Structure 1
Amino acid sequence: MAVEGGAKCVKYLLFFFNFIFWVCGLALIVLGIVAYVHIHNTAVTNISASPAVWLIVVGVVIFFIAFFGCCGAWKENYCMVTTFAVILSIIIICEIAGAIAAYIFRGNLNGVLDQGFKEAFAKYNTSIETKKAIDSLQQELKCCGANSSDDWVNFSTSHTSVPDSCCKNMTDNCGKGAIHDSSIIYTNGCQPAVETLLKKSMLWIAVGALVIAFIQITGIVLACVLMRAIRSGYEVM
């Protein structure tokens, strides 16, 4: 027995909201990828990419669950709609847990970056991968060292040189003897720039997650109303 009246309106609303969920799932995947790329670009640190990967996983799950919810609403299947509501509730709980973890991580970001940069600088002359990552970071963010160019004081035996990637106009041996020459090299450190970049990414992720969570809660309410209407129809039969 098909639902009628107001319940039929809820059915179509739920179908529409599931389309929104589909878009939200796609948005989470994109946000996760952007966050992962930003974290990957700071590979000189020991920052974990787990939050970004978690965001991508949640986005993929929502992407497919939305299709499941659309089918349940269209076919007025009580079991499918109920399963959709339960899974969506679990996803919201996971998102809240992820938001709490991100907030806690945000408070420790400065310490994590500081330790990460120290370890990276120690491996600059021995690890090709670390060297490439640091050089790329310094050129992209127009910075030198963690807090300043002084962090490269042990880069060479003369204690006056910095990597060529610190130079404003990067050429071979341009950083030789230029540790304090602001006309040749960038003297500002990379850590503040990286911290600002990561915090900005986290802020956008938080805003996106809040908007998506609101839409998800609306979907759960609609699913519950439709479940009740479907069940009432079964009881009448």
Structure 2
Amino acid sequence: MAITGCSLCIKYTLFFFNFIFWVTGWGVFILGIALWLRHDTQTSNLLMLNFEGNQAPGTFYISVYVLIAVGAVMMCVGFLGCYGAIQESQCLLGTFFTCLVVLFACEVAAGIWGFINRDTISTELINFYDAAYIKAVDPVDTPTRQAASKIMVAFHNTLECCGKEDDNPLFLNVQASLCPNKKEDPIVSCHIKLRDLFTEKLHVVGLAALAIAVIMVFEMIFTMVLCCAIRNAAAAY
């Protein structure tokens, strides 16, 4: 026996939402945001740097990879919601609901992790910058100093900053070579620029995750109501 009334409305609402997920919408959109964050010039230019055998800390990418995974899975899971709703299949809808719960739990866990580590991401890269800074201002010209200078120039050109506002006389001696594109006066600290950069990126990640979470909650509610309506209709028949 087919469902009727409000349950029928929920059926097509669920189908519509999942059709958007599957064919044109949020899964692709979220995946696109994640890939943009992963390959954004500013972050990729900095996080690909290597100094004395140590890669620049890539903790930021953990949250991005979670978004990539969620976006990719949502495109696949959307098919279950679409087909399950239109076929009024409790099995498919139950599987869809389970997938949503798992994805939602992963998002909550990633959100908690991101909140706890929101300062760690920029702090790790600041420490990496400072390690190169110490070597770059060394008065003795060594291969290590030359490598550190290249790291510093990469930071300064990417972030449009120069130094860390510590008035180090050793830095002032090499400032012209380490900050070839310095345009602003007073000089903008790279510490400030790094914090601002990752605060901005994490806000994008947070907004994308929040949008997914809100839609998932509605999807889970609609799926549960539709499953109950299908079961009741079958029992009545």
TM-score (norm 1): 0.79
Distance change in 2, residues 1:56/1:189 (3 Å) = same
C-alpha separation between the residues in 2 aligned to 1:128 and 1:63? 47
Give the whole-Å Cα distance in 1 for the aligned partners of 2:169 and 2:89: 66
Task: Determine which of 41, 47, 64 is the counterpart of 1:52.
Answer: 64
Structure 1 residue 160 and structure 2 residue 178: aligned? no
Which position in structure 1 is the counterpart of 2:31?
Answer: 29
Match runs of 1:64-143 below 5 Å: 64-121=76-133, 125-126=143-144, 134-143=152-161
Task: Letter of the 1:139 partner, please give it.
Answer: N
The answer to whether the Cα contact below 8 Å between 1:144 and 1:166 also exists between their aligned partners in 2 is yes
Q: Provide the identity percentage.
A: 28
Name the residue aligned to 1:10: 10
Once residues 229 and 169 of structure 1 are traced to their aligned partners in structure 2, the CA distance between those partners, rounded to angstroms, is 66
Q: Residue 61 in 1 paired to residue 56 in 2? A: no
Q: For 1:187, what is the secondary structure of its paired residue?
A: coil
Q: What is the Cα-based RMSD across aligned positions, in Å?
A: 2.9
Q: Is the 8 A contact 1:152 1:162 kept in 2?
A: no
CA distance in 2, matches of 1:67, 1:58: 15
Between structures 1 and 2, the one with greater helix share:
2
Task: Supply the distance in 1 between the matched residues of 2:74 and 2:33 (Cα, whole angstroms).
Answer: 14
Give 2:191's aligned residue. Answer: 191
1:154-199 per-position Cα deviation (integer Å, ceiling 9, x unaligned): 7xxxx711363512379xxxxxxxxxxx87xx83322211210110
Gaps of 5+ in 1: 171-181
Displacement of 1:206: 1.1
The 1:149–1:30 alpha-carbon spacing in structure 2 relative to 1, beyond 3 Å, is farther
Are the structure 2 counterparts of residues 168 and 208 from structure 1 closer, same or farther at C-alpha, using a change threshold of 3 Å?
same
Deviations 1:68-102 (A, max 9, x none): 21111111111000110111011111101111111
Distance in 1 (CA, whole Å) between partners of 2:145 and 2:82 is 51
**One-letter amino acid matched to 2:175:** V
Deviation at 1:34, TM superposition (A): 2.7
Give a deviation string over 1:116-164, Cα, whole Å, max 9, x none.
Answer: 212344677549997666434312322123x13856937xxxx711363
Partner of 2:215: 215
The TM-score, its normalising length taken from structure 2, stands at 0.79
Provide the residue aligned with 2:45 in structure 1: 41
**One-letter identity of the residue aligned with 2:97:** A
Q: Distance in 1 between matches of 2:84 and 2:28?
A: 20
CA contact (8 A) 2:122 2:194 kept: no
* Distance of 2:145 and 2:97 partners within structure 1: 50
Q: How far apart are the structure 1 equivalents of 2:235 and 2:75?
A: 33
